[in-house]
Structure 1
Amino acid sequence: MATNMKPPPAAADFLKHHGWNDAQILPVAGDASFRRYFRVQSGDRRAILMDAPPPHEDPKPFIAIAEYLKNSGFSAPDIFARDLTHGLVLLEDFGDKRMREHLDYRPEDEDAIYRQTIDLLRKLHRAPAAALRAYDGQQYLLEANLLTDWYCPAQQLDVDTESFDATWRQILEPVIKAQNPPVTVMRDYHAENIMLLEDGRLGLLDFQDALIGHPAYDLVSMLQDARRDVSDELEENMLSYYLTDHDKDAAEEFRGHYAILGAQRNTKIIGIFTRLSVRDGKERYLDFLPRMWRLLEKDLCHPALAPMKQWFDRNIPVEVRSQPIPVSEATR
């Protein structure tokens, strides 16, 4: 299903009202949601127009979290103008130097840039948490259920959903206890949402779904990236770097929680990417599934996940994981 990149009908009046009446409106890359983005150019001025159309999208959380991040000393886009009725927001343009593509061309910068992303998380986790709802057990389970709701039916698998839920509740209990006090969790903190700014800082994007929860979650999001291969060596080096100020026992406990949240996140993403293909016709997301299974299987090897590994071994055959059935065929 192709994304319509024609500007929304209300865009021209919105821009004119805010002093951009002679601007060009050019499409830029979107994401996996209903949101679309356009670059607005007027002379030497540039901005980004976010189209977050109701009722599918609500730009208010993005605006609120952008303001929280900026007030906490981080580089989130300035908000130039907003029209909440039509879901239009005019944002600061962070340019085109995205972490993902920069590292594709300059792999020698990988260690330094990943260290910078870890430094940002360490700073964020020392800051007072945003006024957001908690990443609680119900939310974790709802997300994990995307696998049994979408992936398993698409692969024609009849699985034990009752024990799936019970096992997740058991495994997540120590994680939930440990996220007190909580930290701000951006939830999509990875190389495609990080801009490398001219002043050397990291520009943050796509944080509208933020919650408050465990500090390991965004670390997993960055180091077990769904869209970019991160070597086991780099992952270990950056995890160790984050844990520099933890004693041995605290670091060991954190690593267990990291593996649990990695498994939860990767389980969720397998379900989401399947849904994007089955429901929305975005079959390109199936290309990420081999990476997601590799990451999930690595997490399941941690002793803290032994009961969950048993569930996967009983319910989803290894051959289905290693050679996924094409969803387009499984759902005919």
Structure 2
Amino acid sequence: MSKEPFTEKLNSKNFDEIKGKFRHKFLNRTILLFLLLILLLALVVLANQQNIISIPQAVIDYLSLALTILMSYALASIVARLTVNRIMYLFGDAFEPEQRILLSKAYIALLYTIATIYVFVIIGIQVQDIAIFLGLIATGFAFAIRDVILSYISWFILLTKKPFKIGDHIHIEGIEGMVKHIGMFYVLLDDSPETYDDFYKVPNKLFLEKPIRNYGRGQFATEFDLYLTKTPVNTSGISLDLSTLAEELNTEIGKTFSSRIDLRLDSDKEGMKIRVYYRSCYADRDIIKDKILAILYRSLQKSSRTGDSDTRGTNC
């Protein structure tokens, strides 16, 4: 499988361990940062009240205001950390995993918005001032992080329009694998889901620019061509009986896999070829193809030897 420059192959012990380790990583770090800052400011204010240090009253007022702001956001972070999973659990199976991801992010954003409104009320900012301030900030912010905004938009489209779901097998730009996670910046594709040893991180915006082939979760159609002139077998004089070959393939493959193989004779500018059609799940696709090629090669080799024997007998 080719490795494109926009992808990054990651090694890990186990995908589930990584998922558990980084779950709510943002909230955990945010809570820790707020608690450290609150502790620092509280110590400074307490030291001033105990006359251990002398700080001007104007500075104390600003520090008290900052302490109130930090406590508001810390409380929002703690509430989000403690309730986000329970809120999602209340919905049960009413929403798909992709929709639950979006709802959890929206719930966290709502809590921080409430905390921000409370801070604005404490500071005494008017609604008109808030609108002007947010407009200026949003304009400059959008130009500064337009790539990040594009990733967020792509993430939102992937979750709402659902060109694929978690658990589907997809193909994009030479990368194939099972969708393990749809993040705000990357989609994790695992090309060996049975081992969890490695996976690819594909940028979200790529899914808006490149075509996606979604194989789904069950069996999907697969086909490949076998050019007779390029096989390591002398095909001159071979009499092809595709129905017999297909019956032999279905008998052999059917012992292990529930897949039916169809053969068609076709040609193009490169010569005569056998087109092979079959359906399988993603994990069995390459294994079945390997068995098909082995059986076809053995059959063609046997037919070649038979043809040579018949030719030699005729010449005599």
TM-score category, normalised to shorter length: under 0.3
Rg larger for: 2
Q: TM-score, normalised by structure 2?
A: 0.25
TM-score of the aligned structures, taking structure 1 as reference length:
0.24
Q: Which has the higher strand share?
A: 2
